[in-house]
Chains A and B, each alone.
Chain A
């Protein structure tokens, strides 16, 4: 077997390193964010109210990947929400899945979506999904 065959594929880019982590508070939620994009982390933190304090009610783990290889373009914003997972889709290459039961936010963000756009457009939708109960909804 050649060395080439011994490489284990990561076709979905599941294992992209996320060296930047931060913890902050959004409303009553403690968010633990991991990302490969420090700018994105800063922008999200600025968009939220305050840093973590004791007494917050719930934890939520977020992993957001700045995806340089994602396709750009498209202006469509849609939310696909049924059962425990809701998904926000922006244009052709950005998606953010929200697992309400596990309180996880997992997403890839295309190069053409700036941190500010993410905070202004996607963040409110993510928070709505995170706080909503599982239901069928397509918009």
Chain B
């Protein structure tokens, strides 16, 4: 094993080898390019992090002669194969049957932490997660005193804006768009990948601190601010035990109300947000369904709200605090 301060790599047939701890799963990386370990060092060791899931491997060839930056993302999949390209020089091939990623990338991309942290690693867990016992769920996750609140809703319901406001209100931040659910030692665990909060340009009306940031083109092509949760004064945590689920429903009126949801309704809502898997991956689909069923057994509410996100965040804070008090009483 060779060591260079912040990160460790094993030397293997293809060059260097190291492990990444991602959303409760482990990714074994092999590469010919040692500086990639430095780029990914943030994910290498997580003391005490439970890993009750499977592993996947990632074999990355860095092409020294190519230097192009990452280009427009393009994703396609058939059966067990998914291909993600970011310009012609940066291509990732995912094999869901063998839990393996093979990639060819440029040096520039290998040395770009934002590419890995904001794009590729969330994509990798999103694509392969179901095959290793990690279910990507389209919801935000905020954490209050170690317990997680999952915030779900259709696109435009305000998950990200509310996430920023909840962080301002004192919640810790796990994720704002995709949360990765896996089995932990004490039940389900909700994981994030420290992705930035994505806010549309009109969010500046509620968060003046965005004025110091530039708008960028997000992965889905939208113009947005992508900012770290600490912009709003909160801490970022990697995982927490989910306590409850809140499904957002926007109202044009200034209002706030919570209504309980049945487990079946929740299950259908969560199941509808995950991607269909081909019949070839029936085991992955079955394992995913079991985790979603378990998730649907959490206390869940519909939260209908209108008005400023800070107002909604205070309403959620009061509601969640009272629920916690009731459950401990």
Binding site for B on A (CB under 8 A): 1-2, 4-15, 63, 65, 67, 70-71, 74, 76, 78, 80, 82-85, 87, 89, 91-93, 95, 97, 99, 104, 106-108, 136, 138
- Shortest CB-to-CB span from A36 to chain B, Å, is 12
In the complex the two chains form, what is the Cα distance from A116 to B199 in whole Å? 45
Within residues 267 to 308 of chain B, which ones have a CB less than 8 A from any CB in chain A?
268-269, 271-276, 278
In the complex the two chains form, what is the Cα distance from A65 to B91 in whole Å? 19
In the complex the two chains form, what is the Cα distance from A83 to B80 in whole Å? 15
Is there contact, CB below 8 Å, between A83 and B102? yes
Residue of B85, B102, B265 with most chain A CB atoms under a 10 A cut-off: B102
Of the candidates A2, A4, A85, A92, the one whose C-beta lies within 8 Å of that of B93 is: A85
Is there contact, CB below 8 Å, between A5 and B93? no
Contacts of B81 in A (CB 8 A): 85, 97, 99, 106
Is there contact, CB below 8 Å, between B14 and A136? yes
CB within 8 Å for A92 and B85 given contacts A14-B278, A83-B59: yes
In the complex the two chains form, what is the Cα distance from A20 to B294 in whole Å? 41
Is there contact, CB below 8 Å, between B59 and A9? no
Is there contact, CB below 8 Å, between A82 and B59? yes
Contacts of A15 in B (CB 8 A): 276
Is there contact, CB below 8 Å, between B154 and A2? yes
Contacts of A106 in B (CB 8 A): 78-79, 81
Of the candidates A89, A97, A138, the one whose C-beta lies within 8 Å of that of B78 is: A97
CB within 8 Å for A85 and B102 given contacts A65-B78, A71-B74, A138-B61: yes
What are the 6 tightest A-B residue pairs by CB atom distance, in nearest-first order? A12-B77, A106-B78, A97-B81, A76-B88, A108-B76, A95-B83
6 further interface pairs, Cβ-Cβ under 8 Å (given A2-B154, A7-B272, A97-B81)? A8-B271, A83-B59, A83-B100, A92-B85, A136-B14, A138-B61
- Shortest CB-to-CB span from A25 to chain B, Å, is 23
Contacts of B77 in A (CB 8 A): 12-14
Is there contact, CB below 8 Å, between A84 and B104? no
Of the candidates B102, B268, B276, the one whose C-beta lies within 8 Å of that of A14 is: B276
B251 interface contact, C-beta 8 A: no
Binding site for A on B (CB under 8 A): 14, 59, 61, 63, 71-72, 74-83, 85, 87-88, 91, 93, 95, 98, 100, 102-104, 154, 247, 265, 268-269, 271-276, 278
Residue of A7, A10, A89 with most chain B CB atoms under a 10 A cut-off: A89
Contacts of B72 in A (CB 8 A): 71
Of the candidates B82, B88, B98, the one whose C-beta lies within 8 Å of that of A12 is: B82
Is there contact, CB below 8 Å, between B85 and A89? yes
CB within 8 Å for A80 and B79 given contacts A5-B273, A89-B88, A138-B61: no
Residue of B nearest to A10 (CB): B276
- Shortest CB-to-CB span from B91 to chain A, Å, is 6
In the complex the two chains form, what is the Cα distance from A83 to B79 in whole Å? 17
Contacts of A8 in B (CB 8 A): 271-272, 274-276
Contacts of A1 in B (CB 8 A): 247, 265, 268-269, 272
CB within 8 Å for A70 and B76 given contacts A11-B275, A87-B83: yes
In the complex the two chains form, what is the Cα distance from A127 to B87 in whole Å? 25
Of the candidates A4, A5, A9, A93, the one whose C-beta lies within 8 Å of that of B74 is: A93
Residue of B nearest to A82 (CB): B102
